[in-house]
Amino acid sequence: MSAQTSEHKTMSVKLIVWRQKGPNEPGRFETHVAKGITEHHSFLEMLDVVNEDLIKQGKDPIAFDHDCREGICGTCSAVVNGVPHGGQKRTTLCQLHMRKFRDGDAIYLEPWRARAFPIIRDLVADRGALDKLIQAAGYVSCHTGGVPDANSIPISKPDSDYAMDAAECIGCGACVAACPNGAAMLFAGAKVSQFAALPQGQVEAPERVAAMIKTMQECGFGNCSNHYECQAVCPKDVNVKFIARLNREFHKALFKAKAGTFTPVGE
């Protein structure tokens, strides 16, 4: 029970971190040393220590996105040693702890890199494109009020569990950053699959998938070529089977379009 020992051994790690003042400024790597770090520091708490030092020296602290620090808001977003969120399975960066590193380690730190995610500053990227995907059709169209009683439409437990597996996505964008094509298909696939499994989402399923795929292209996301890197880095373990479901739903929409029972947006 390591947490119960009151004295913690400390370590130092060398950070080779990406610094970039703004979207149109050139970026570069800069080296900083984090000292006095214990195994119980989270990765972001280690960055806090470095930033306190930088501020005291009158230098700009490293800008990084974070908020809930409990692995659920999806705000934290940095690539550690080439892996979004740092490579511990099912873990966001804020939940990665320094016990996973060793004294003297050199750690490379970069922002999400994808065409659809321009860099705002240092480790902060603009993930607004993911919101655009949801705004395109990532919802069930129901007005507030005037809906039936919640138990009037039973949903089988396996369907509901499947929808929940998909709905676990926190929209952090690690899947995009890990994909060699900068694709958002795991993100979009999760949303499409969640609603495709539920009776509430059925009616507008073809419109949803067609609009989301069109918007993905407009936002500059690439396509899936089955590398599965997205699943490997996903902090919520969202499964690539949802990309297959996305493709299947898209083909269903195309068939419907051919049969004349559905007209995709913009055509």
Asked if 22 interacts with another protein (CB under 8 A), we say yes
Residue from 12, 33, 59, 225 touching another protein (CB under 8 A): that is: 59
Asked if 65 interacts with another protein (CB under 8 A), we say yes
Of the pair 124, 224, the CB lying nearest another protein is at 124
| 3-state SS record for the chain | CHHHCCCCCEEEEEEEEEECCCCCCCCEEEEEEEEEEECCCEHHHHHHHHHHHHHHCCCCCCCCCCCCCCCCCCCCCCEECCEECCCCCCCCHHHCEHHHCCCCCEEEEECCCECCECEEECCEECCHHHHHHHHHHCCCCCCCCCCCCHHHCCCCHHHHHHHHHHHCCCCCCHHHHHCCCCECHHHHHHHHHHHHCCHHHHCCHHHHHHHHHHHHHHHCCECCCCCCHHHHHCCCCCCCHHHHHHHHHHHHHHHHHHHCCCCCCCC
Of the pair 55, 223, the CB lying nearest another protein is at 55
Nearest distance from C-beta of residue 196 to another protein, angstroms = 10
Structural contact between residues 74 and 92, judged by C-beta atoms closer than 8 angstroms: yes
Asked if 203 interacts with another protein (CB under 8 A), we say no
Stretch that binds another protein, among 3-11, 107-115, 238-246, 249-257 (CB under 8 A): 3-11
Residue from 104, 148, 180, 266 touching another protein (CB under 8 A): that is: 148
Residue from 104, 154, 260, 266 touching another protein (CB under 8 A): that is: 154
Asked if 6 interacts with another protein (CB under 8 A), we say yes
Nearest distance from C-beta of residue 140 to another protein, angstroms = 4
Nearest distance from C-beta of residue 257 to another protein, angstroms = 21
Nearest distance from C-beta of residue 63 to another protein, angstroms = 6
| Residue count, binding to another protein (CB under 8 A) | 88
Residues in 86-145 at the binding interface with another protein, rule: CB under 8 A: 88, 90-91, 95-97, 99, 120-121, 124, 126-128, 130-131, 134-145
